[in-house]
Amino acid sequence: MPYETILVEKREAVTLVTLNRPQALNALNSTVLKELIEAFAAYDADGSQHCLVLTGSEKAFAAGADIKEMQVQGFPDMYSANFFAGWEQVTRTRKPWIAAVAGFALGGGCEVAMMADFIIAADTAKFGQPEIKLGVTPGMGGSQRLTHAIGKAKAMEMCLTGRMMNAEDAERAGLVARVVPAAYLLEEALKAAETIASMAPLAAIATKEMINASFEMGLAQGINFERRLFHGLFGTEDQKEGMAAFVEKRPGNWTGR
């Protein structure tokens, strides 16, 4: 189905989603959200797809939520629409996905990147939560996910001053998994996605579920949750196949069962 604000392409087992509002530096308006919800749900439901890469343009991953759309809203509009709550649907994607970030990832742009399982950044990437300069605060999870990712001091500084963090600093702070030269961003992100897509699909979903649980649970509860999921994988064909393949010195041939 053709979308208005995003491009979606299947590359073998990897779905590539590209934000495509160049005239607004990929600002995230309601149409972008609606289309991303649809595209991510389609990816999750498609048995042939095992990893997704979300990217933007060379200049901007996304320069934030659409300020022009929000400008005219009042509290009753925002509250009754539960504005931004739809992003939770994107975060409920069960299969793995990667954000490939070049240029600006500001406000909602930084927040969407942080919704990904991990971020690969171009050396041109700039992360920031500049909402305070607009008289507001992060509203798509930035105050929480950024603090989890880089700690209180750095998150406070970024959110209170609006200062941007470059790619090198973002890697050092733990916000991004890896920095690559801008020219190789997509290639590197797709390569990582292909690697993930080549793994046993249920183990990939379980991995994601248990790591995400660490943000919600205490240590003992989280370790118990991990162990139960680990036990559960012994009920899959792919566990038998993976261990047999190791012993027989051959690659695993996964069924996703």
CB of 28 to ligand CAA, least distance (A): 7
List, in sequence order, every residue forming a beta bridge with 106; answer none if it has no partner: 128
Catalytic residue among 24, 63, 65, 121: 65
What is the spatial distance between Cα 198 and Cα 118, in angstroms, rounded to a whole number?
17
How many Cβ atoms from other residues are within 10 Å of residue 23's Cβ?
6
Q: Which is nearer to ligand CAA, 40 or 104 (CB)?
A: 104
Using DSSP's 3-state secondary structure scheme, residue 82 falls into coil
Among 130, 127, 103, which Cα is nearest to 176's?
Answer: 127
Catalytic residue among 24, 125, 131, 155: 131
The encoded tokens of residue 128 equal 């920031």
Q: Which is nearer to ligand CAA, 28 or 200 (CB)?
A: 28
CB of 66 to ligand CAA, least distance (A): 4
CA angle, residues 65, 181, 28, in degrees to nearest 5: 10
CB of 90 to ligand CAA, least distance (A): 13
Catalytic residue among 56, 108, 141, 142: 108
Site for ligand CAA, rule CB under 6 A = 24-25, 27, 63-68, 104, 106-108, 111, 130-131, 134, 138-140, 142
H or E element that contains 41: helix 30-45
Q: Which is nearer to ligand CAA, 59 or 178 (CB)?
A: 59
Catalytic residue among 111, 171, 188, 226: 111
Q: Is 174 among the residues known to form the active site?
A: no
CB of 83 to ligand CAA, least distance (A): 9
Q: Which is nearer to ligand CAA, 20 or 214 (CB)?
A: 20
H or E element that contains 212: helix 201-213
Residue 173: is it exposed, middle or buried by C-beta count within 10 angstroms (0-12/13-18/19+)?
Answer: middle
CB of 70 to ligand CAA, least distance (A): 7
Whether the CB-CB separation of 55 and 187 falls below 8 Å is answered with no
φ, ψ dihedrals at 100, nearest 5°: -105, 110
Bridge pairing between strands 104-106 and 60-62:
parallel
Q: Is 108 among the residues known to form the active site?
A: yes
Q: Which is nearer to ligand CAA, 132 or 233 (CB)?
A: 132
Q: Please give the torsion angle defined by the CA atoms of residues 85, 89, 90 and 91, in that order, rounded to the nearest 10 degrees.
A: 90
Query: Which residues are known catalytic residues?
Result: 65, 108, 111, 131
